[in-house]
Structure 1
């Protein structure tokens, strides 16, 4: 059974009443546990943020709870529920800490709580809601709402938050007095905790909610590299929206998720390769590509369901749904050789079959050779500009190298020396720095990268040579060169700096420059394909 253990930030430990939070995640499934942990961590961060609440107004509790336009009722109820649950959770945490450390302090806190409740009640009855402004605004902002403090709906919501706080105090006091499992008494809180179907009609559609999720997700990525993740998420949302007739996410039941999973599983694995297929309705898609004997892989199904799990967890925190995540329980553990086929290195006979005779497209031949003699990824190669083909001065040596930029990870941004068998490239007449070396591969997708076009061309070419299984792909060249490095006993830390993987902590932190360019060139020179007749492109 997985557990979450999270240290409490030092600046809120005193107010929160403990130094470490430990929670059971209620499952032995790692993926489900991760999703549950993310939800709990989000709640904790919100509570700790409340403890650091703005000094412009008084906090609701001492040392504690500190798109434009009117939000939907579901958001308002979520704010009320969050205010109630945060105060109650905070009081419980304080009580536990005081009771365990000092019984006398615990008794004093009980008396103080009754006095505080009387004072807050008098303020609210007198119409003084000042101390609730900042907390209400923060809870709304956490849910993406732009607040107008002068609007009538904000004043009404502030009143409801005040009621929720007083109700939470009352529940805590009744518990201190010996009541077993005390419950809230106000209609405001009861409604927020037990939402009725009368409010469902005000929920937004699944596609609108998914778009709101994507805006938040993209905003959090900042200036990070664009990848396939965004279109993959949008594709999942589009599929489920079509299946579910774009109804609100609150209406999704476990049996709905299971029905979607079963239908999706039987889709033709190649359906997304057709641009026209992406414009089909769900019904049209199933009619044309569904109910196939060999459907989507476990890895692909895991990715689709993980995206939907994330959306549910995000939506739940914002009041759009409640209860157990209906998309949990579908994850399949991936095991190499069973339900996952890892890429395999090309063997000598396969390389001869692949390259003799060479491909007719000269640009494809050239990127294949660069991949074979560097281990670079296909998109990294296809995206190279003349400005990324550089010369380094190192101890009197001049070392030509590729400067890989805009990689998937920071470690991917690296210097890769040009192998001696690639001198045909350094001998060519250079273009301007901004021009791509291989401009014939079209830029595609949201990140405008040519790798997808180059990948399709390589897939067509290898299929024409009899290689249709995905285990033999362009990525397999990375397997080839890594096998050579291990057999040559190259230290893993050295090869990682050329290959684009993370180094160990000590060298990464204390020697960020890494190994010399001369050493890199020595390592690249170990790449060889004896017995394989490799074509040499024209100098041009």
Structure 2
């Protein structure tokens, strides 16, 4: 019956027939679907069966989707309700043992109670089993009997409640079994993080489709992965309080914690708008990532502290350490940082073509990176000329600073930046000393040499904040910039 067509015995009419998959039989209400096609012509039946089969298969998928979208939130509700009910039963047993009687808070219609009793003790296998259990309990006397009655009522109500809940929500057999386990022992259910791998994958794809920067997207996804692991570790729900505890556990600077909250808010807004399961689970909840008071100056060791500058002695120490490690590229990078104050990625992107001559002066032509002001021409310090000539001559790929490979975001400085961090730590410098500190050093040296503020900013690629200078001025002349850059102290570098 590959074509799903049948004819009943003694009839010429064609019927379409389809077996219902086991996982949706309960939702559909039968094991087989059959419908008359109202024709005795097989050719017409072949065409007429298609829309019917399509409709039935759509019903199967809808049943599966309903179960999928339900997620795990029902388990949390069942566990909480079971715990509450267990607490009531526990208190009733304590009161009984102490000889106290207290009115319960249960407001149940007597008619509904009788209906429930009829269901519990119905003339079925389960009903007869429950009646036998009840007869055995009622045969007990005294305090033991009273306590046993409480236990029996608790057990039967949970069992019945579970059956009704499973029926009302179209639970699969495995879901129904899991629910009974949770009802029997609410602590057996650990809250699962709603920030699932599948959701994060969809969130990432959405952000990418909207043109988000790959690195920024990966950072946000990474932050949400860390939160998810935190929630899963102790089975914690996603609430304002748990986010607060998580933030405190991170030991990060306030600015970094703010980035974690922004990542959480971005994920929350996406999920509330595009994830049906999430909307259902958190439909009455507020964004748990907003309203947090972040510490001022607390968190990480370096929080609230300014980066340190490198002195000439510091720079020579770092350069010598690099040479002792037989790392000439890193030693050259340190020299470039000292004499230019350029960002590490800007330096790693310098090529042979970046070395240009203007008005008879050799200069670095820095392309635009972070801002309009980052595109600039900077004269090469006289003490750096020989190093630049060597780098141009030895380059095998046009770049002045060789790199093992760019990272997945195309950054050439990735590996050498890590190498510098290891070198800095081994040389005894704190985390307040980073490669970016060379920018602080150069600006400081220029200001101390009485170089005008606007010119100093122009050399390192900062906007001055002045409309006159940033919009209308063409900047200082090459001669002025060379005079200024030459005021940076010479390192008297030596190669190994």
TM-score, length-scaled by structure 2: 0.52
Q: Mapping of 1:270-281 within 5 angstroms?
A: none
Residue aligning to 2:340: 374
Q: Mapping of 1:190-269 within 5 angstroms?
A: 206-221=196-211, 228-244=215-231, 252-263=238-249, 265=250
SS in structure 2 of the partner of residue 402 of structure 1:
strand
Bigger RCO (CA 8 Å, 6+ sep): 1
Mapped to 1, the partners of 2:477 and 2:319 lie a distance apart of 34
Q: Mapping of 1:303-318 within 5 angstroms?
A: 303-318=259-274
Residue aligning to 2:71: none
The verdict on how the C-alpha distance between 1:512 and 1:535 changes in structure 2, with shifts beyond 3 A counting, is same
1:339 aligns with 2:342: no
1:415 aligns with 2:415: no
Q: What is the CA distance between 1:504 and its match in structure 2?
A: 2.5
Structure of higher CA gyration radius:
2
1:387 aligns with 2:353: yes
Q: What is the CA distance between 1:505 and its match in structure 2?
A: 4.6
Q: Mapping of 1:113-132 within 5 angstroms?
A: none
1:464 aligns with 2:430: no
Residue aligning to 2:363: 401
The verdict on how the C-alpha distance between 1:505 and 1:347 changes in structure 2, with shifts beyond 3 A counting, is closer
The verdict on how the C-alpha distance between 1:215 and 1:359 changes in structure 2, with shifts beyond 3 A counting, is same
Mapped to 1, the partners of 2:471 and 2:373 lie a distance apart of 15
The verdict on how the C-alpha distance between 1:438 and 1:354 changes in structure 2, with shifts beyond 3 A counting, is closer
SS in structure 2 of the partner of residue 390 of structure 1:
strand
The verdict on how the C-alpha distance between 1:466 and 1:259 changes in structure 2, with shifts beyond 3 A counting, is closer
The verdict on how the C-alpha distance between 1:328 and 1:452 changes in structure 2, with shifts beyond 3 A counting, is same
Match of 1:506 among 467, 473, 477: 467
Mapped to 2, the partners of 1:260 and 1:310 lie a distance apart of 17
Residue aligning to 1:6: none
Q: What is the CA distance between 1:345 and its match in structure 2?
A: 0.9
Are the aligned partners of 2:404 and 2:415 in contact in 1 as well (CA < 8 Å)? yes
SS in structure 2 of the partner of residue 310 of structure 1:
helix
The verdict on how the C-alpha distance between 1:434 and 1:497 changes in structure 2, with shifts beyond 3 A counting, is farther
Are the aligned partners of 1:388 and 1:433 in contact in 2 as well (CA < 8 Å)? no
Q: What is the CA distance between 1:333 and its match in structure 2?
A: 5.0
Q: What is the CA distance between 1:455 and its match in structure 2?
A: 1.4
Mapped to 2, the partners of 1:431 and 1:528 lie a distance apart of 26
Mapped to 2, the partners of 1:405 and 1:221 lie a distance apart of 23
More divergent stretch after superposition (429-438 vs 442-451): 429-438
1:436 aligns with 2:426: no
The verdict on how the C-alpha distance between 1:338 and 1:464 changes in structure 2, with shifts beyond 3 A counting, is closer
Residue aligning to 2:414: 452
Q: What is the CA distance between 1:471 and its match in structure 2?
A: 1.0
Q: What is the CA distance between 1:236 and its match in structure 2?
A: 0.8
Mapped to 1, the partners of 2:472 and 2:397 lie a distance apart of 31
SS in structure 1 of the partner of residue 365 of structure 2:
strand
SS in structure 1 of the partner of residue 243 of structure 2:
helix
Deviations 1:474-520 (A, max 9, x none): 22211111111222332322222221222325235633643333322
Are the aligned partners of 2:383 and 2:492 in contact in 1 as well (CA < 8 Å)? no
Residue aligning to 2:493: 535
Are the aligned partners of 1:376 and 1:499 in contact in 2 as well (CA < 8 Å)? yes
The verdict on how the C-alpha distance between 1:504 and 1:354 changes in structure 2, with shifts beyond 3 A counting, is same
SS in structure 2 of the partner of residue 301 of structure 1:
helix
SS in structure 1 of the partner of residue 323 of structure 2:
coil
Are the aligned partners of 2:321 and 2:427 in contact in 1 as well (CA < 8 Å)? no
Q: What's the C-alpha RMSD, in Å, of the aligned pairs?
A: 3.9
SS in structure 1 of the partner of residue 261 of structure 2:
helix
Are the aligned partners of 2:469 and 2:475 in contact in 1 as well (CA < 8 Å)? yes
Q: What is the CA distance between 1:401 and its match in structure 2?
A: 1.8
SS in structure 2 of the partner of residue 214 of structure 1:
helix
Answer 1 or 2: which has greater helix percent: 2
SS in structure 1 of the partner of residue 377 of structure 2:
strand
Mapped to 2, the partners of 1:358 and 1:244 lie a distance apart of 43
Are the aligned partners of 1:299 and 1:340 in contact in 2 as well (CA < 8 Å)? no
The verdict on how the C-alpha distance between 1:241 and 1:420 changes in structure 2, with shifts beyond 3 A counting, is same
The verdict on how the C-alpha distance between 1:344 and 1:236 changes in structure 2, with shifts beyond 3 A counting, is same
SS in structure 1 of the partner of residue 304 of structure 2:
coil
Q: Unmatched 5+ residue regions in structure 1?
A: 1-69, 74-197, 266-294
1:300 aligns with 2:286: no
Are the aligned partners of 1:507 and 1:514 in contact in 2 as well (CA < 8 Å)? no
Q: What is the CA distance between 1:363 and its match in structure 2?
A: 0.9
Are the aligned partners of 2:322 and 2:330 in contact in 1 as well (CA < 8 Å)? no
Mapped to 2, the partners of 1:536 and 1:447 lie a distance apart of 34
Mapped to 2, the partners of 1:338 and 1:471 lie a distance apart of 7
SS in structure 2 of the partner of residue 261 of structure 1:
helix
Q: What is the CA distance between 1:358 and its match in structure 2?
A: 5.8
The verdict on how the C-alpha distance between 1:471 and 1:509 changes in structure 2, with shifts beyond 3 A counting, is closer
Q: What is the CA distance between 1:370 and its match in structure 2?
A: 0.6
SS in structure 1 of the partner of residue 360 of structure 2:
strand
Mapped to 2, the partners of 1:485 and 1:380 lie a distance apart of 20
Deviations 1:57-98 (A, max 9, x none): xxxxxxxxxxxxx9x99xxxxxxxxxxxxxxxxxxxxxxxxx
The verdict on how the C-alpha distance between 1:404 and 1:465 changes in structure 2, with shifts beyond 3 A counting, is same
Residue aligning to 1:519: 480
Q: Mapping of 1:126-165 within 5 angstroms?
A: none
